[in-house]
Amino acid sequence: MAFSVTTQIWSSIAELSLSSLIIGTFVVLIGSTVAPAVYDAYFGPLSKFAGPKLRAMSSIPQAVSIFRGREHEDYVTLHKKYGKVVRVAPNELSFVGGATVWKDVLGFKKSGTSNFPKCPRFYGGQLLERPNSFLANADDAEHSKLRRVVSHAFADRSLHDVEHRLLHWARNFKRRLDGMQAGHDSIDMVKLYNCGTFDVMGDLAFNEDLGMLADGNESEWVTNIFKGIKQSSYVRGVKDLHDSLWYFIDNVVMKMPEARREVGKTLEFTNERLEKRLNNPPARPDLWSQIIAKGIGEQALDRAEHQGLAFFFMVAGTETTASALSAITFFLLCNPNYTKQLQEELRSTFSTFEDLSFSKLGRLKYLNAVIQEGLRMYPPVPIALPRRTPAEGAQVDGQYIPGNVVCSIPHYSTYRSPEHFAEPNEFRPERWLGDPKYTDDNLDAVEPFHVGPRNCVGKNLAWHEMRLFLATAYTFFDLTVTEDSRDWLAQNQVFTVWQKPPLWCRVNSASVV
């Protein structure tokens, strides 16, 4: 009997046309994929959270947003429509909360409470010899070891030991601006800030002059870093399309020689300079002087850890600072009244370049407010650096979130939210100076350097660089934007970090009295 039924089934299949078989197979495959997605969107554990149902069913909209370079703006739109918590993908929630959300997701945890691990789809590093040696990717144990060694080098007391090095590069930055013909030539401030921040880090990390300010151009090595960051964003978008692509990218594509070639050049450049520095200790202290002094005994670093740190410094400690400087300059160019107030503060404090110092710059209230507002308007990393809830789930902003759910806090969307700020899309330094109009602003929602045990280790250095380069530009020069760059902000895209067009400015020397 069973044999007879089986024979009839196969006989019926044989009578079907090829097109019917293809269509039937397609319907079955679609049904087996779509039906669970639809069910999860409407009845799954995250179904109570607001958001577009298409995003709840598929990560394709997320990937498209990444590929377009509009991820930051798309999240603003989503939160404006759906509120403070939005389901942006089948297994991802986006939050634009304040200090409580930052603390819940990224903050220090009480004993017995699990950390939110980093989302593996976002954090790569497969191209490094030992990915765990890259500070941003390291597991908790390795990160704790590296952090104990590195944090000493970036402490304010240690940075005062290298103040003369930063002043040297600020002077070279000034010389580059001095070389402009009064008001006639234009200069790309994005490129100039990149040259400055990379020269600073090259000196601090390798005791080497990379020569970018002197040459006025970014090296091929820097260009490769920018390409690599953009490519990694595309990889992240592809991974979002399907779980199988995640495995394929990490274990097949990223191991191909073609994928390793460009990043290999960058690593080779970094490692060559690191070896030269380690084999030739400088007379003047630099970052590695502090790292070597601290990394002894059980804290001693092996070569792979040194290499991972060097690569991290050159990638994370340069472009982000240059982005902030570029944007702050643009906002000042668009707001002459704020420029005037800043210049009055600077020019009443400094009459010569030799007057500049870390301590004096740190006391300038208006300069610091301008930088804080610039970081709010244009966070150097505008997207979220996602985490996952621990397996047992966790409370975020008073709501229980199930285990292994991706939790994102997008900087740009949070800082542009009317939930937190009056006139959120306007550059207003006075909101940081106690202006009554902005009394209700939730300033502690702004955390461009993150919070908790994995906050930005280079925060102090970034602040010193931003103060120093801005003070040099606005104490001794008057800048005006050219017509080509009046819509500079609108021309920006985001591929993990900002992809910035040139910011063309004309430069005139200023009389400082």
Amino acid at 314: M
Report the DSSP pairing between strands 399-401 and 493-495: unpaired
Handedness of CA 294, 464, 132, 260 (dihedral sign): negative
Amino acid at 185: D
Q: Is 195 annotated as a binding residue?
A: no
125: how many CB neighbours lie within 10 A of its CB?
18
Helices (H), 280-417: 287-294, 303-316, 319-334, 336-349, 358-362, 365-377, 411-415
- How far is it, in rounded angstroms, from Cα 446 to Cα 444? 5
510: how many CB neighbours lie within 10 A of its CB?
16
Only one residue has tokens 């679609």, namely: 30
Nearest to 281 by CA among 263, 298, 293, 270: 293
Contact 115, 109 (CB under 8 A): yes
113: how many CB neighbours lie within 10 A of its CB?
11
Phi, psi (5° rounding) for residue 407? -120, 125
Which strands sit side by side in the sheet containing 477-481, from one edge to the other? 186-188, 504-509, 477-481
Only one residue has tokens 């191991």, namely: 255
Instruction: Tally the C-alpha atoms within 13 A of residue 2's C-alpha that lie toward its C-beta.
Output: 0
* Bind-site residues for heme: 456
* Bind-site residues: 456
